[in-house]
Amino acid sequence: MEPGRLVSSDAIALFLSIAVPPGLAQDLPLPDPTFNGQIEETYDQSEADDAILMSPQPPEGAPNILLVLLDDVGFGASEAFGGPIVTPTLDKLVENGLSYNRFHTTSLCSPTRAALLTGRNSHSAASGSIQEMATGFPGYTGLIPQSTATVAQILQAHGYSTSWFGKNHNVPDNQTCWFGPFTRWPNDLGFDYFYGFIGGETDQWYPTLYENRNPINQPASPEEGYNLNHDLADQAISWLRYNRSLSPDTPFFLYFSPGATHAPHQPPASYVDKYKAGGEHAIAAGSPNGMFVDGWDVEQAAICANQKAQGVIPADAKCTERPAAIPAWDDPQFDLEGARDLLALQMQTYAGFLEYTDEEVGRVIDAIDELGEKDNTLIIYIVGDNGASAEGGIPGTCNEIANLGGAPLTMEDNLKCKDIWGGPETSPHFAIGWSWATDSPFRWTKQVASYFGGTRNPMVISWPDGIQATGDRNLDLRDQFLHVIDVTPTILDIVGIQPPNKFNGIGQKPLEGASFANTFGKDGASQPAPRDTQYFEMFAHRGVYNDGWMASAFHRIPWITTGSSPIDEDKWELFNLDADFTQHDDLSAQNPDKLAELQALFDSEADKYGVLPIDDRFTERYLVERPTVLGDRTYFEFYPGAIHLPAASAPNVANTSYRITADLNISDAETVQGVILANGGTAGGYSLYVTPDHDLVYEYNYVDVERTLLTDLTPLSSGSTRVKVEFVYDGNTCSAGFGCGGRAFLYVNDMTTPVDCSRIEATFPGRFGVDTQDVGMDLQAPVSDTYKPPFEFTGGEIEKVTIDIDPSFNETPICSELF
């Protein structure tokens, strides 16, 4: 055992008392060391002080830290917490660590992640909603303040090596472009190295990848076996090995945050097969015809019963009923032939996704073990940044981007995707019934901050040198009421570092969470929770916890993404959580004074932490105009090499007319082919390209349900060529008020007479998902199903592409008058 390393949980208090004395918080970064040598006229007469060459050193014996955060996982999904999904890594950690069954998130990803990294409430960290919904109010800008330094910045300043692999949904939406600004990208938030994606989600087969600040292409194709989770684990393992090779005595902080199990649900098929008819898990579960075929009502009841049997929830806990807004499994709307088979497949796909993700986490942990570092590595495994997502809608969807954009698919649409569900051609999400079931035993889902279906997530902590787990689940279970803001204070407490008064000269807000390291000892189960009050708010769902009581107000159905309603019409409920683990019994009628007390407390906390003004909008907030790198421009010029342009930084062609013009120099008409300009991907977008037969095509992909193609059947000729696409928008005259149709025209050389035209009945009302705009190729998932990415433009050169938003048109003909 190395000197200074902990050997038991009883040593924690001693370690914390001697590492950094209380009250000695320092400003960070640490000041340059003082020179204690001697300087004379020449070097040979002088005495050097080699100490000034040293980098900051962490406290002696400081542990490595692996922080794992999964995405969109319900409390009852994993078998480790009573669910049906096999999670071998989580199971192993449960056997050798502590399980927490009253740990809470914010109910949404960006807010949870900001709170996790800063130790402050999400609104205090200016992250009251996701980045794409930022507004000009202090709690909602999406700009993590300089007054809330991250745990990585603090650890880095004290000598830790730091890295981040996976999802980063904390870069301001208008700063996601690869030319910056980068002040809130991972490298500037304290991470030496970053490999992953920027934004709320990405395609697992065709991810939008960044290494540090640089956009990169994925190292292989889906046909070659590529899938993002495996790549993330590979990269994390490589970083660990390289780190240990060069600096084996430097502790590391590795933040592993895969985009799973956020939609799109896209695991390798081999994992899905385990849950299908004849699959190994189906057979082991006594379901030879496949798991989940009996539906979500049966599944939720089974999970809740198993949670009691495991001791994950109290034996007297009441299983909550399915909300009336969620249809029963036997609802007649699912009588359509094949519908229930597809619904079962949705859950089988999700189960495979979670198991696969958990195994990749296990590969990272195994690598730490192989390097001899596991005993002194604090592993914090948080199973979800919120509850399971209901954003798939009632029937689920094979294109979740359509749902988010307010253009949900029908069951009939979904059935067309059944044979390719989860593959590279789809962007699937399961039905809301499954999100409710996997949030067992609680009510509601992701987004609903007032109920534990949205906010309560499992957490497991392992640290062999610091925690002596008994291996008995009942003894190793911790039920203190905790929140994600408590994680950073706990890490700093364990390492022996005080939060700084100033960071980079900026005064720091006090940490709003508190350490729960007292729960690590043998008597940890009986220790008090670190705090007695915590507020919750998301999309006007409001709640507040105080000393065993919880007041909750439900506001809006999470899968209905448009519309707004007054918050003063919401019904508040009251729960005694000491006697009611699941928020089952509303006591508001019996205790009106207690309810009023908690409502007043919520108002006070909301005012204190920047929750106001409360905003319940969803799609409407997506569509709000906000500052971008584009400014007020409506005319744009792009040149070859202009690739990887994220949606937030690309010209927005939604709900407007536009003109695209490309100047080409075709050197070989016999070989010319490839993409001239593409924006979006399989889930929706547009592409202007030349086919292998040398035909010019403009394709508009409406949520992968309707594709409109304009084609010039006359092959392009060598020499200078100008092509143009014009789309004349109808205006917001359709029933939705946005995403209406229009007429599209394709021109080649003659800019007055189109070679083809067509009506497009509906257009996507927002962004084309998470894919990028590219000139000369189509990176990530392809817009068109007629080519494979990147389908680079060859046989000539693209001189320039221009995009003109809402241009003026000469009088345009009706398509029927032309063809």
Which three-class secondary structure string do you get for 111-146?
HHHHHHHHCCCCCCCCCCCCHHHCCCCHHHCCCCCC
**What pLDDT, on the 0 to 100 scale, is given for residue 5?**
36
Contacts of 811 (CB under 8 A, 6+ apart): none
Gap between the Cα atoms of 296 and 191, Å rounded: 41
% of the chain surpassing 70 pLDDT: 96
Domains 64-447+456-465+483-501+524-607 and 635-805 are alike in CATH topology: no
Topology at the third CATH level for domain 635-805: Jelly Rolls (2.60.120)
**DSSP letters along 141-176, please?**
S----TTS--HHHHHHHTT-EEEEEEEE--S-GGG-
Gap between the Cα atoms of 529 and 169, Å rounded: 29
- Asked whether 61 and 5 are in contact (CB, 8 A), the reply is yes
Gap between the Cα atoms of 113 and 382, Å rounded: 11
Contacts of 246 (CB under 8 A, 6+ apart): none
**What pLDDT, on the 0 to 100 scale, is given for residue 536?**
99
**DSSP letters along 210-263, please?**
EETTEEE--SS-GGGT--HHHHHHHHHHHHHHHHHHH-TTS-EEEEEE--TTSS
- Asked whether 467 and 522 are in contact (CB, 8 A), the reply is no
**What pLDDT, on the 0 to 100 scale, is given for residue 377?**
98
pLDDT single digits (tens) 171-204: 988 888 888 899 999 999 999 999 999 999 999 9
Would you mind telling me the total number of residues written for the chain in this entry? 819
Gap between the Cα atoms of 487 and 120, Å rounded: 10
Gap between the Cα atoms of 692 and 487, Å rounded: 55
**What pLDDT, on the 0 to 100 scale, is given for residue 14?**
33
Record the tokens describing residue 12, joined without a space: 């924690």
**What pLDDT, on the 0 to 100 scale, is given for residue 562?**
81
Mean pLDDT in consecutive groups of 10 residues from the start of the chain, 819 residues: 37 36 71 94 95 91 98 99 99 97 99 99 98 95 98 98 98 86 95 97 97 96 98 99 94 99 98 98 96 98 98 98 97 98 99 99 99 98 99 95 84 97 97 98 98 99 95 95 99 97 97 98 96 98 99 95 91 99 99 99 98 93 80 94 92 95 96 98 97 96 95 93 97 85 95 94 90 96 96 98 90 67
Domain 64-447+456-465+483-501+524-607: assigned CATH number: 3.40.720.10
Gap between the Cα atoms of 421 and 430, Å rounded: 11
**What pLDDT, on the 0 to 100 scale, is given for residue 428?**
97
Gap between the Cα atoms of 568 and 754, Å rounded: 55
Does the pTM surpass 0.85? The reply is yes
**What pLDDT, on the 0 to 100 scale, is given for residue 736?**
76
Gap between the Cα atoms of 622 and 628, Å rounded: 14
Domain segments of the chain: what residues?
Answer: 64-447+456-465+483-501+524-607, 635-805
Contacts of 237 (CB under 8 A, 6+ apart): 363, 364, 367
Quick one: which of 537, 552, 559 has its CA closest to 483? 537
**What pLDDT, on the 0 to 100 scale, is given for residue 11?**
39
**What pLDDT, on the 0 to 100 scale, is given for residue 24?**
63
Please give the torsion angle defined by the CA atoms of residues 556, 557, 559 and 563, in that order, rounded to the nearest 10 degrees.
-40
Residue 478's Cβ-count burial label (10 Å; 0-12, 13-18, 19+) is buried
Q: Which residues pair with 728 in a beta bridge?
A: 743
Record the tokens describing residue 427, joined without a space: 């962007």
**What pLDDT, on the 0 to 100 scale, is given for residue 6?**
37
Find the largest Cα–Cα distance for the chain: 95
What is the phi/psi pair of residue 471, to 5°? 85, -5
**What pLDDT, on the 0 to 100 scale, is given for residue 733?**
85
